Amino acid sequence: MGLQSLGYFAFLPVAAAVYLHLPHRWQPGFLLAASWAFYLLAAPQLFTVTLGITVLSYFLARALETPQQRRWLHLGVVVLVAILAFFKYGDLLRLDWGLPLPKIAMPLGISFYTFAAISYLIDAARGDCPVEHDFTIHVLFMNFFPTVISGPICRVGSLMPQLAAEHRFDEGRTIAALRLFALGTFKKVAVADVLGLLVNEVFPNYRSYGGGMLLVAAVAYTFQLYFDFSGYSDAARASALLLGIEIPENFKTPFFATNFSGFWNRWHISFSSWLQDYLFMPLAWADISPLTRGRRERLPVWVCLFCVFFVSGFWHGNTLPFVVWGILQAVYRIGEEVLHQRLGKPKKRAPAPQLWGKRVVVFVLWTFSMVFFRVGSDTTGLGMSDCFGYLAGCVSGLSPARFASELYSAVYNGFYPHALMVAAYYVLVLAGLALAFRLDAYRAFACKNRPSEQALAAMPRRRVIYYLLIVLILAGLIVQNGGFGGSNFSMYAGF
């Protein structure tokens, strides 16, 4: 059961109605029971792993209150990373290295709640937050149902106090939550899942298509991933907001960023900020003078950036395309730093054509890297050589006639053998993207990236927007054969 499944549409209002009317002392226990029920409905066979990591992190945190705090912190981080690595990279060690490991499926969301546990241990050891003694609150922090599968990765200092606080029904907050949930469902169902039909047809069969169609599919996948994950994150925030709990935003109109530094401040924010706080900053401030015999005290910034993005790529998957994707992000960021050092940092108020030119460059480079990301995510047997084969195909067979023919045949032969449905599919794609980017543009420029629900409420003719969201959600369901044809989970649930 994902956050945009029919079952969840029944689960959430019932859970919220009961929770908001319970006595305060019963609220955490009920919310924990609801969170466990949600996970059991989503992935019952691996619930014990989730529960085990949660209990382990509780006792590790309590051990931080002993005189051996530093030792327990190191042990806790190593054990949690080892558990995560076992599930994420067990198949690599078993198949490629021949180690006698059992074949075990990866628990949904294990990266997200493991990272939350690691940040909790580090923050508690630093004194940035107290160690939580209430077992129920700790387990709820780790297993909170809006965030347990695909994040956002929440920090204990902001979420735990909210989980322990009393919450009651609030009309304005509920309207904002419903507005945000509708927006997230639109992004996921009417945009991402619809684009996914075309992407899943073209990428595995890329040798059959010319450059024009391959370029369209690469751009479509870039949009698919963004609207899938940002839509799911909006639904997660809306679910928490309905309960009176605020969790962090994960996306802030990244395609309007004018450089990669800004892009990563807007894309998967909870993960990129986690990497900055718990990997980049420790590397940047590490004293390496004993290793260099006093010649250098700190690591160069480019080394820290490379380590962060290499880890990011390897975290996303254990295949070479993901590693290359991470290295490309490092090259983009390091190259940007080099340009700033040589040419100076760009002016904050530059002419509009210059800013839009930068946005186009960032988007093109990001889309280029997305080819590696999509091949790395592929389940049909594509590998590293296919990344280069796909990119080479993008610059061949660029005939307009061939492109027009393949634009039709990709849909007709791939999933809709009816001329009217082919036309309806592309109309829905264009309408969905037009509305989605209109909303993003208004949020970025008119609202200065205020939260999505606030930007949506501030839009002129917002009632028309609401109706359009509903109509396009229904159209998306129809195009997907009348039911949630795409995954009910975020594409990031498997990372």
Mean pLDDT computed over 224-228? 97
Give CA separation, 167 vs 43, 180, 482, in Å: 28, 19, 37
Neighbours of 395 (CB within 10 A): 10
Helix (H, G, I), strand (E, B) or coil at 377: helix
- The count of C-alpha atoms lying within 13 angstroms of the C-alpha of 458, restricted to the half-sphere facing its C-beta, is 17
Q: Residues 153, 203: contact at Cβ < 8 Å?
A: no
Instruction: State yes or no: is 21 an active-site residue.
Output: no
Nearest to 236 by CA among 224, 249, 223, 225: 249
- The pLDDT tens digits of the residues spanning 250-309 come to 999 999 999 999 999 999 999 999 999 999 999 999 888 888 777 888 899 999 999 999
- The pLDDT tens digits of the residues spanning 310-365 come to 999 988 887 889 999 999 999 999 999 999 888 877 777 888 899 999 999 999 99
First to last CA, the chain: 17
- Model confidence at 488: pLDDT above 70: no
Mean pLDDT computed over 126-139? 95
- Model confidence at 249: pLDDT above 70: yes
Per-residue pLDDT, 157: 92
Nearest to 282 by CA among 74, 87, 63: 74
Per-residue pLDDT, 482: 42
- The pLDDT tens digits of the residues spanning 367-389 come to 999 999 999 888 788 889 999 99
**Cis status, amide bond into 23, omega within 30 of 0:** no
**Predicted confidence band at 98 (pLDDT cuts at 50, 70, 90)?**
low
Per-residue pLDDT, 89: 80
Nearest to 139 by CA among 157, 122, 123, 116: 116
**Predicted confidence band at 220 (pLDDT cuts at 50, 70, 90)?**
very high
Task: Please give the Cα distance from 250 to 229 (Å, whole number).
Answer: 9
Mean pLDDT computed over 26-39? 96
Token pair in block for residue 330: 């490092």
- Model confidence at 9: pLDDT above 80: yes
Q: Which residues are CB-neighbours of 341 under 8 A, at least 6 positions away?
A: none
- The pLDDT tens digits of the residues spanning 134-171 come to 999 999 999 999 999 998 999 999 999 999 999 999 99
Classify residue 349 as exposed, middle or buried by CB count within 10 Å of its CB (0-12, 13-18, 19+).
Answer: exposed
- The pLDDT tens digits of the residues spanning 424-474 come to 999 999 999 999 999 999 999 999 999 999 999 999 999 999 999 999 999
To 10 degrees, the CA torsion angle through 355, 357, 361, 366? Answer: 60
Query: What value does the CA radius of gyration of the chain take, rounded to a whole number of Å?
Result: 23
Per-residue pLDDT, 484: 45
- Model confidence at 230: pLDDT above 90: yes
- Model confidence at 6: pLDDT above 50: yes
Per-residue pLDDT, 481: 66
Helix (H, G, I), strand (E, B) or coil at 99: coil
Query: Where is 172: in which H helix or E strand?
Result: helix 171-185
Q: What percent of the chain has pLDDT over 90?
A: 76
Per-residue pLDDT, 4: 78
Neighbours of 440 (CB within 10 A): 23
Token pair in block for residue 49: 């792993």
State the pTM of this model. 0.94
Q: Of 167, 316, 340, 418, which is the active-site residue?
A: 316
Helix (H, G, I), strand (E, B) or coil at 67: coil
